[in-house]
Amino acid sequence: MIIYPAIDLRGGKVVRLKVGDPDQQTVFSDDPAATACAWIEQGAAWIHMVNLDGAFANANDNGRILEAVAGLNAKVQFGGGIRQMSDIERAFDQGAARVVLGTILIQQPVVAIQALERWGSERICIGLDARDGKIATHGWQATADITPAELGQQMAAHGAQHALYTDVSRDGKLGGVNVDGTAALARATGLDVIASGGVGAVEDIRRLVATGAVAGAIIGMALYTGQIKLSDALAAAGGRDAG
């Protein structure tokens, strides 16, 4: 199973939000590239980067940060504010190894399908973030009347392979990841689902691994607060290149 340290960008800084609320923000670093370098030195093979400014439709220069991090010795999974084909193309040009599509799946599903056809299933990740059982969009500020399983099944039928599932109600709280929900989604869709939201202890990683159904886990707040050591998470997941 792959461990993805999270770097959420807002105003050029590394931040964490609680339950996706922009008013509940903690700043952890003024230097995203240095933060990424630290995680890579500790063994991370992937970095999960989120452009929160883009997700909230705010002007930003986070593409420059993506380029800097993509030049390091790890792959970058990048999402946030990807609303059209040109945004996807730009992210790849700036060095992203994989792009996460969220709101666009609801607003312009044809574009998402075209992206899968153009770049292939390995480079496109389907964002299945949910609040109260429904897909959350627009930086988690809105919801759509469709479940993660329904949307996941639709996109799997068009060739999607990778998916990211965040239980928004748990994000940033360190209270435990939704192990059962993540595994159930993976089984219902056949997708390689990455768990996110609430990872607060190495035991969460062990429980995800034990399901035999989860492809990865994103860890944010727990790493930044020191509640989890990246080396311990990697060991529980099976090593740097596990998965």
Task: Give catalytic residues, as residue numbers.
Answer: 8, 129
Q: Specify the residue for token string 């993660």.
A: 148
Q: What is the per-residue burial (b if ≥16 Cβ within 10 Å, else e) of 199-212? A: bbbbebbebbbebe
Consecutive H or E run containing 47 = strand 46-51
User: Using CA atoms, how far apart are residues 2 and 20, in angstroms rounded to an integer?
Assistant: 23
Contacts of 193 (CB under 8 A, 6+ apart): 128, 152, 163, 164, 165, 182, 185, 186, 213, 214, 215
User: Using CA atoms, how far apart are residues 97 and 236, in angstroms rounded to an integer?
Assistant: 24
User: Using CA atoms, how far apart are residues 89 and 106, in angstroms rounded to an integer?
Assistant: 19
CA 230 to chain centre: 17
Query: Are 157 and 189 contacting, i.e. CB atoms less than 8 angstroms apart?
Result: no
Q: Give the SS3 label for residue 97.
A: coil
Joined together, the tokens standing for residue 222 give 């727990």
Query: Are 15 and 8 contacting, i.e. CB atoms less than 8 angstroms apart?
Result: yes
